[in-house]
């Protein structure tokens, strides 16, 4: 026996009792396990996974959990102080059962009453506009007309019918199909005619700062093939200038200098292009060269002053006689906390300004009066109107009307024909700021199509105010100031949306540009 080991006789009394108790506990545990197995309550003995062949091991099918429906929950009678098997407990059980039955019945109940959809929540927004939104504008359907020759023939008003026939009679330029006239290398953002009536000179600004020029007066040379030789087709008369480093958002010809074109760009500058000299000079840029203030619009209503707006909601007035880069010739007003997408000055009353903003408003301002101090100083706000979604552009005509295009799929026309009589400090009521015409129009351009803008003809020869706007079905629409549609221009070879549309100032010519830099030209 090893040294230090103890025999049973040598164990202490405490140790003997402890071992005796352990033996009793083990015997009791074995007895309980046997009883459970006889009763069928004990789990079957697990087999080693390695002992069974892989092919004999079958995967248990997944048990599909059904989604539980929410029904009235039972509550504890004991916690509510209700004695079991009492009359109160019975009534409680009956009430809970009846509540469950009523809930199930309500889910299957047919609704017979009329449903008013004019005040419902759609896509997370509350619709409180008048009318049924289900009758709104649908998605774009390429080449599907919404205004046809039948609409023209069915016009009973003689003057309106004659005007519709004249506008609908405009035809695509016969020189080349639109898909062959590559006016700019990239997507067209701005479009316009030179004011001359002798020939069609069409300009377009694109996404990368290129300015394209198309001469529609040049005839296409007739090239005859001799024998079976192939002859290369002539190219359209297009010239391209690189005058900005970023998008040309807008441009306008000077009323006092017909050969001077002022262009605004996302590169924060305004340039004056002299068409005679072929030179583009910078006439405005922020004093701080590191400042990035992309410009969204430009207007040159007066000879020495240019007006502009920025994508961060500012409106600027700059005297072109001041040295470039100096701030002493520039006034900046913060008119909106969000992007100003488009603006225009009243062509007759040049102190009146209309702005359209991402904050869903169109606003009329009077530059004859300013209020506030320092950075809070702003022109006098005459009135504003709020749309359901953002307003892309606001354009004045010479009759005192403003046309806007909005992402709520409407074109709105506001009539301020008495604006020439407005005194300094005039404020319009909400009723006076209501549009006089609302035209349903699909304005959902998305990411790859330039925003649609309503653009007036500056000086219509017949005196009838009208504007044009691109159509997502690959047309250009023409409307009067009353909201009456005059025409829907299309034609062969238009393979993309002619989104950027513009009238010639006096002639019934319309040019429109696409996202691929192609030109559509009707005359």
Residue 6, domain member (yes or no):
no
CATH number for the domain spanning 246: value is: 2.130.10.10
Q: What residues have CB less than 8 Å from 333, skipping those under 6 apart?
A: 314, 315, 316, 370, 377, 378, 379
Q: What count of residues does the chain have?
A: 523
Confidence label for 338 from pLDDT (cuts 50, 70 and 90): very high
Q: What is the pLDDT of residue 308?
A: 97
Read off the pLDDT of each residue in 104-114 and give the average, rounded to a whole number: 43
Residue 345, domain member (yes or no):
yes
pLDDT digits (tens, 9 = 90+) for 381-395: 999 999 999 999 999
From the list 299, 304, 366, 290, the residue with the least C-alpha distance to 335 is 366
* Cβ-contact 263, 247 below 8 angstroms: no
Read off the pLDDT of each residue in 422-426 and give the average, rounded to a whole number: 97
| R_g (Cα) of the chain, nearest Å | 39
Question: How many Å apart are CA 384 and CA 99, to the nearest integer?
Answer: 53
Q: What residues have CB less than 8 Å from 354, skipping those under 6 apart?
A: 343, 344, 346, 362, 363, 364, 365, 394, 395, 396, 402
Which residues form the domain of 261?
149-522
* Cβ-contact 307, 331 below 8 angstroms: no
Residue 176, domain member (yes or no):
yes
Q: What residues have CB less than 8 Å from 187, skipping those under 6 apart?
A: 206, 207, 448, 450, 514, 515, 516, 517
Confidence label for 109 from pLDDT (cuts 50, 70 and 90): very low
Residue 18, domain member (yes or no):
no
Residue 193, domain member (yes or no):
yes
Map residue 349 onto helix, strand or coil. Answer: coil
Looking at the chain, the number of H-run helices and the number of E-run strands are 4, 29
* Cβ-contact 419, 346 below 8 angstroms: yes
| DSSP one-letter string for 489-518 | E--TT--S---EEEE-SSSS-EEEE-TTSB
Q: Give the number of other CB atoms < 10 A from CB of residue 507.
A: 17
Residue 110, domain member (yes or no):
no
Percent of the chain residues past pLDDT 90, beyond the cut: 62
Residue 72, domain member (yes or no):
no
Residue 242, domain member (yes or no):
yes
User: How many structural domains is the chain composed of?
Assistant: 1
Look at residue 41 and tell me whether its pLDDT is greater than 90. no
Residue 42: φ, ψ to 5°: -85, 145
* Cβ-contact 241, 185 below 8 angstroms: no
Q: What is the pLDDT of residue 425?
A: 96
From the list 487, 511, 456, 439, the residue with the least C-alpha distance to 163 is 487
Q: Using alpha carbons only, give the angle 163, 169, 174 rounded to the nearest 5 degrees.
A: 150
Read off the pLDDT of each residue in 107-115 and give the average, rounded to a whole number: 38
Handedness of CA 151, 154, 160, 165 (dihedral sign): positive
Question: How many Å apart are CA 298 and CA 343, to the nearest integer?
Answer: 8
Alpha carbon dihedral 172, 177, 179, 185, in 10-degree steps, equals -80
pTM value surpassing 0.75: no
Read off the pLDDT of each residue in 511-522 and give the average, rounded to a whole number: 97
Question: How many Å apart are CA 168 and CA 152, to the nearest integer?
Answer: 8
| DSSP one-letter string for 87-147 | HHHHHHHHHHHHHHHHHHHHHTPPP-SPP-GGG-EETTEE---SS-GGGS-----TT--SS
Handedness of CA 45, 48, 53, 55 (dihedral sign): positive
């Amino acid at each position: 026996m090893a040294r230090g080991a103890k025999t049973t006789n040598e164990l202490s009394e405490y140790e003997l009792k402890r071992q005796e108790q352990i033996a009793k506990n083990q015997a009791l545990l074995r007895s309980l396990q046997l009883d459970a197995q006889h009763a069928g309550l004990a789990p079957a003995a697990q087999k080693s996974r390695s002992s069974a062949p892989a092919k004999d091991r079958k995967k248990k099918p997944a048990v599909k959990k059904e989604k539980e429906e929410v029904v009235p929950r039972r509550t504890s009678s004991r916690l509510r102080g209700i004695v079991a098997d009492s009359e109160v407990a019975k009534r409680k059980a009956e009430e809970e059962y009846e509540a469950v039955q009523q809930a199930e019945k309500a889910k299957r109940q047919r609704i017979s009453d009329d449903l008013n959809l004019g005040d419902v929540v759609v896509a997370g927004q509350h619709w409180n506009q008048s009318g049924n939104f289900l009758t709104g504008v649908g998605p774009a359907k390429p080449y599907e007309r919404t205004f046809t020759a039948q609409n023209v023939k069915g016009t009973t008003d003689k003057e309106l019918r004659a005007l519709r026939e004249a506008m609908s009679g405009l035809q695509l330029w016969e020189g080349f199909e639109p898909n062959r006239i590559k006016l700019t290398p990239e997507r067209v953002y701005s479009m316009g005619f030179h004011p001359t009536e002798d020939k069609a000179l069409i300009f377009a600004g694109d996404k990368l700062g290129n300015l394209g020029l198309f001469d529609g007066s040049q005839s296409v040379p007739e090239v005859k093939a001799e024998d079976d030789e192939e002859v290369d087709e002539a190219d359209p008369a297009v010239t391209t200038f690189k005058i900005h480093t970023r998008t040309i958002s807008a441009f306008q010809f000077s009323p006092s200098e017909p050969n001077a074109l002022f262009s605004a760009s996302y590169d924060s500058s305004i340039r004056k292009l002299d068409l005679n000299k072929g030179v583009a000079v910078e006439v405005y840029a922020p004093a701080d060269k590191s400042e990035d203030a992309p410009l969204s619009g430009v207007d040159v209503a007066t000879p020495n002053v240019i007006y502009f707006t920025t994508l961060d909601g500012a409106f600027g007035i700059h005297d072109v006689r001041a040295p470039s880069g100096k701030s002493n010739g520039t006034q900046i007003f913060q008119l909106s906390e969000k992007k100003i997408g488009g603006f225009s000055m009243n062509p007759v009353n040049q102190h009146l300004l209309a702005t359209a903003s991402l904050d869903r408003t169109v606003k009329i301002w009077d530059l004859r009066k300013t209020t506030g101090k320092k950075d809070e100083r702003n022109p006098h706000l005459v009135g504003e109107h709020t749309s359901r979604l953002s307003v892309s552009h606001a354009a004045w005509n010479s009759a005192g009307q403003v046309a806007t295009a909005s992402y709520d799929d409407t074109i709105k026309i506001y009539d301020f024909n008495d604006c020439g009589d407005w005194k300094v400090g005039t404020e319009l009521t909400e009723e006076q700021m209501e549009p006089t015409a609302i035209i349903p129009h699909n304005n959902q351009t998305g990411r790859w199509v330039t925003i649609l803008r309503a653009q007036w003809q500056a000086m219509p020869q017949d005196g009838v105010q009208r504007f044009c706007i691109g159509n997502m079905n690959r047309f250009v629409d023409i409307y009067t100031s009353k909201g009456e549609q005059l025409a829907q221009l299309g034609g062969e070879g238009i393979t993309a949306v002619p989104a950027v549309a513009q009238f010639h100032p006096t002639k019934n010519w319309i040019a429109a540009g696409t996202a691929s830099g192609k030109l559509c030209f009707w005359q």
